[in-house]
């Protein structure tokens, strides 16, 4: 099973927008592209919204059937580990092996020594085609890298072996993710991580490192854009070299866990993958849920009231809702509008405040991030919420499609 050159991870908390999401990808594919949709949902999300991995498969299959979509598509067990993978085995065909928590865990000395010995041919100046400066590789560096990543890659191989036994080799896509950590992995780290994965027989088709900068949920990139661009380009070159050097799958590509809406760096990524004719996987995360709230606000009446309730309730429970996402949100409390203020807002004012149009005078990334993590509120509303989605599916679907096509795909694929 091969992922294909371009793929887009789409999240859908409440499983009502599969068709609208797919419409956006189908629209882009009409221009000659071949982007594969990957519906992803993590264990954490399933717990919060009381859904099951099988629901994502049902939604994906139904959307594909409804639109007669003929391209490849996948269902991603996002950020799983050995403890959480089991319920995903049957219905997912893409597995994101999250081994971030194993970074820095100690490995037996013999394993470290064996790894360092296996890298002797890279000692000295390692030249990677396209990277203008040779990389200095010392034994100390190799020991440090082994100390950081040997245990994590070993964990990846254990999860992979489990899946191989359950599903059969070649019947699923393997992604290895290390993005949910503080410290970015450098291109040199990535090179040796890929060697470790190859040594352990993990046929990764995508790899998700932690990049420089902050990838907060639902808002733009913050960080050193030039540094990101340099790192991203070097990662692309390292992967190209590592594929040939270590015999990893030829289609191996970067996976950017974008947290959605990284509008500043999308065009940078686009130009680099175009320059080297490489593939890319981008996870856009669950901002489809924000488009639901925008659509409901625009629908007016009780739907607008529901959108206001979601914000107001989330405001009152800010600490509780933000806690699981503390590392990936930055909310300035002083810029959150009060419940009283929002109560007086029109449909347009609410939608414009929540919708991510850079430079729009009403756009408020603080409110946006709070609602983004506030999906638990909608989940607790149960059928009150989902009945509104059904009633207003047209306007909501239009928002979902426009968001993915106009704000994401256009920037990512220069459409
Ligand atoms: Zn991630």
Span from the CA of 74 to the centroid of ligand 1 (angstroms): 17
Output phi, psi for 134, to 5 deg. Answer: -70, 150
Span from the CA of 259 to the centroid of ligand 1 (angstroms): 8
Span from the CA of 179 to the centroid of ligand 1 (angstroms): 5
Span from the CA of 83 to the centroid of ligand 1 (angstroms): 17
pLDDT tens, position by position, 104-116: 999 999 999 999 9
Q: Is residue 408 scored above 80 in pLDDT? A: yes
What does the CA dihedral 399, 324, 284, 368 come to, rounded to 10 degrees? 40
Span from the CA of 180 to the centroid of ligand 1 (angstroms): 6
Per-residue confidence (pLDDT) for residue 359, from 0 to 100: 96
Angle at 347 between CA 345 and CA 349, to 5 degrees: 55
User: Three-state secondary structure along 289-348?
Assistant: HHHHHHHHHHHCHHHHHHHHHHHHHHHHCHHHHHHHHHHHCCCCHHHCCCHHHHHCCCHH
pLDDT tens, position by position, 141-200: 999 999 999 999 999 999 999 999 999 999 999 999 999 899 999 999 999 999 999 999
Per-residue confidence (pLDDT) for residue 271, from 0 to 100: 97
Structure-token pair, residue 412: 């990512």
Angle at 292 between CA 350 and CA 70, to 5 degrees: 145
DSSP class of residue 282 equals E
> Residue 276 and residue 235: Cα distance in Å, rounded?
12
pTM for the full predicted model: 0.96
Q: Is residue 82 scored above 90 in pLDDT? A: yes
Span from the CA of 348 to the centroid of ligand 1 (angstroms): 33
Span from the CA of 96 to the centroid of ligand 1 (angstroms): 9
Span from the CA of 177 to the centroid of ligand 1 (angstroms): 7
Q: What is the CATH number of domain 6-103+146-286?
A: 3.20.20.70
User: Kind of pairing, strands 124-126 and 135-137?
Assistant: antiparallel
Span from the CA of 338 to the centroid of ligand 1 (angstroms): 32
Structure-token pair, residue 405: 């096509």
Per-residue confidence (pLDDT) for residue 327, from 0 to 100: 86
Span from the CA of 346 to the centroid of ligand 1 (angstroms): 35
Span from the CA of 79 to the centroid of ligand 1 (angstroms): 7
Give the up-direction half-sphere exposure of residue 219: CA atoms within 13 A in the CB hemisphere. Answer: 23
The confidence band for 401, taking pLDDT boundaries of 50, 70 and 90, is very high
Nearest CA to 154 out of 188, 120, 108 is that of 108
Q: Could you tell me the sign of the dihedral formed by the alpha carbons of 310, 320, 79, 89, in that order?
A: negative
Per-residue confidence (pLDDT) for residue 44, from 0 to 100: 87
Angle at 162 between CA 156 and CA 167, to 5 degrees: 120
Span from the CA of 279 to the centroid of ligand 1 (angstroms): 18
- Of the listed ranges 178-182, 200-204, 228-232, the one predicted with least confidence: 178-182
The confidence band for 136, taking pLDDT boundaries of 50, 70 and 90, is very high
Span from the CA of 406 to the centroid of ligand 1 (angstroms): 23
Q: Is residue 74 scored above 90 in pLDDT? A: yes
DSSP class of residue 222 equals B
Residues in the chain: 415
Per-residue confidence (pLDDT) for residue 195, from 0 to 100: 98
Ranges for all domains in the chain classified under CATH 3.20.20.70: 6-103+146-286
DSSP class of residue 79 equals E
């Amino acid at each position: 099973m091969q992922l294909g050159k371009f793929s887009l991870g789409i999240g859908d908390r409440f499983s009502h927008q599969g068709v609208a999401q797919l419409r956006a990808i189908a629209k882009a594919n009409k221009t000659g592209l071949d982007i594969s949709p990957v519906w992803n949902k993590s264990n954490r999300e399933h717990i919060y919204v009381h859904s099951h991995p099988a629901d994502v498969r049902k939604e994906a299959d139904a959307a594909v059937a409804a639109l007669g979509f003929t391209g490849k598509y996948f269902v991603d067990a996002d950020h799983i580990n050995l403890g959480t993978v089991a319920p995903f085995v049957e219905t997912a065909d893409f597995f994101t092996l999250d081994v971030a928590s194993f970074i820095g865990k100690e490995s037996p000395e013999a394993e470290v020594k064996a790894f360092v010995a296996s890298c002797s041919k890279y000692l000295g100046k390692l030249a990677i085609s396209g990277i203008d400066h040779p990389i200095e590789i010392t034994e100390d560096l190799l020991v440090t890298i082994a100390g950081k990543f040997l245990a994590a890659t070993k964990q990846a191989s254990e999860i992979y072996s489990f899946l191989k036994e359950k599903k059969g080799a070649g019947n699923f896509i393997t992604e290895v993710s290390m993005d949910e950590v503080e410290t970015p992995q450098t291109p040199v780290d990535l090179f040796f991580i890929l060697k470790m994965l190859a040594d352990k027989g993990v046929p990764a088709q995508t790899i998700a490192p932690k990049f420089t900068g902050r990838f907060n949920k639902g808002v733009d990139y913050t960080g050193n854009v030039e540094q990101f661009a340099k790192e991203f380009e070097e990662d692309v070159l390292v992967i190209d070299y590592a594929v040939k050097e270590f015999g990893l799958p030829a289609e191996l590509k970067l996976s950017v866990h974008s947290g959605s809406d990284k509008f500043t760096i999308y065009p940078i990524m686009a130009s680099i993958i175009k320059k080297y004719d490489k593939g890319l996987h981008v996870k856009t995360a669950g901002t489809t849920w924000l488009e639901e709230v925008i659509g409901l606000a625009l629908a007016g009446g009780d739907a607008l009231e529901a959108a206001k309730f979601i914000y107001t309730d989330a405001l009152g429970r800010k600490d509780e809702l933000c806690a699981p996402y503390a590392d990936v949100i930055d909310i300035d409390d002083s810029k959150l509008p009060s419940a009283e203020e929002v109560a007086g807002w029109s449909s347009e004012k609410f939608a414009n405040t929540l919708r991510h149009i850079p430079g729009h005078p009403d756009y408020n990334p603080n409110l946006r991030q709070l609602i983004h993590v506030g999906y638990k509120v909608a989940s607790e509303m149960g059928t009150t919420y989902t009945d509104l989605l059904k009633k207003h599916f047209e306007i909501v679907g239009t928002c979902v499609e426009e968001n993915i096509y106009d704000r994401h795909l256009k920037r990512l694929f220069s459409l």
